Structure 1
Amino acid sequence: MSAFLSPLDLREADEKDDGQWILGSPLVYQSDIAGVTFTVPAGFRTDLASVPRIPIVYELTGGTSSKAAVVHDWLYTTKLVARDVADAVLREASAVTGVPAWRRNLMFCGVRAFGWSHWK
C-alpha cells in the first residue's frame, strides 16, 4: 500500500525569498505505481508545486500537496523513473495525503501538459 514513511521536514532556503525550500531530513515514500520506495535525501532543494501564480489556477491547485510535490520534484531531478511514471506518482502521493480527486486530477493534467519543460 502506498504511504509516506517519514514526515516532511522543510526549511526555507536562506539566500533569498525565491520560493525555494530545503529538505531537513530524508522523505521516504513507498509507491505502488512505481513499485519502489523512494528516499528523497536531506538537503534536496524544491520549489514544491510549480503552479503558475495565475489567481484561479493557483487557488485550485497551489499549496495543496507539499509531500507529493517534493517526491515529484526529486523524480524530475533524478529521472529515476520515466516522466509518465513520475507524474502518476504525484497523483498517487496526493491521494495518500488526502487531496480530493478533482484537485489531484487537475494537478496531474497540468504536469502532463506542461511538465515537459522541466523534465529536460
Structure 2
Amino acid sequence: MSAFLSKLLLEDATNIDDGQWIVAAPFIYQSDVAGQTFTVPVGFQTDLASVPRLPIVFLLTGDTSREAAVVHDYLYSTHIVPRNVADAVLREASAVTQVPPWRRWLMWAGVRAFGGSHW
C-alpha cells in the first residue's frame, strides 16, 4: 500500500534561492504505482509545487501537497523512473495525503502538459 514512511522536514532556503526549501531529514515514500520505495536525501533542494502564481491556477492547485511535490521534484531531478511514472507518483502521493480527486487530476494534467521542459 502506498504510504509516506517518514515525516517531511524542510528548512527554508531563501538565503540560497527565493522560494526554495531543503530536505532536512531523509524523506521516504513507498509507491505502488512505481513498485518501489524512494528516499529523498537530506540536502535535496525543492521549490515544492511549481505552480504559476496566476490567481485562479494557484488557488486551485498551489500549496496543496508538499509531500507529493517533494517526491515528484526528486523523481524529476534524478530520472530514476520514466517521466510518466513520476507524474503518476505525484497523483498517487497526493491521494495518500487526502488531496481531493479533482485537484489531483488538475495537478497531474498540469505536469503532463507543461512539465516536459523541466524533465
**Please, what TM-score do these two structures have when normalized by structure 1?**
0.97
Using the TM superposition, give the Cα deviation of residue 33 of structure 1 relative to its aligned residue in structure 2, in angstroms. 0.3
Moved more, 12-21 or 31-40: 12-21
Q: Detail structure 1 runs of 4+ shifted over 2 Å in the superposition.
A: none
In 2: Cα distance, 1:104 partner to 1:18 partner: 26
Per-residue deviation, 1:31:
0.1
State the shift of 1:15 in Å: 1.8
Residue 64 of structure 2 aligns with which residue? Answer: 64
Q: Could you tell me how far 1:14 is from its partner in structure 2?
A: 4.4
> Cα deviation per residue 1:68-112 (whole Å; 9 max; x = unaligned)?
000000000000000000000000000000000000000000000
Query: Match of 2:37, SS?
Result: strand
Number of corresponding residues: 119
Q: Give the gaps of 5 or more residues in structure 1.
A: none
Q: Distance in 1 between matches of 2:82 and 2:16?
A: 32
Percent identical across equivalent pairs?
71
Using the alignment, how far apart are the partners of 2:61 and 2:4 within structure 1? 21
Shift of 1:118: 0.3
Cα RMSD of the aligned pairs, angstroms, is 0.9
- Aligned partners of 2:17 and 2:6: how far apart in 1? 27
Name 1:90's counterpart in structure 2: 90
SS of 2:106's partner is: helix
Alpha-carbon separation, structure 2, partners of 1:16 and 1:83: 28
Amino acid at match of 1:112: R
Distance in 2 of aligned mates of 1:17 and 1:73: 16
In the TM superposition, what are the counterparts of 1:8-47 in structure 2 within 5 Å? 8-16=8-16, 18-47=18-47
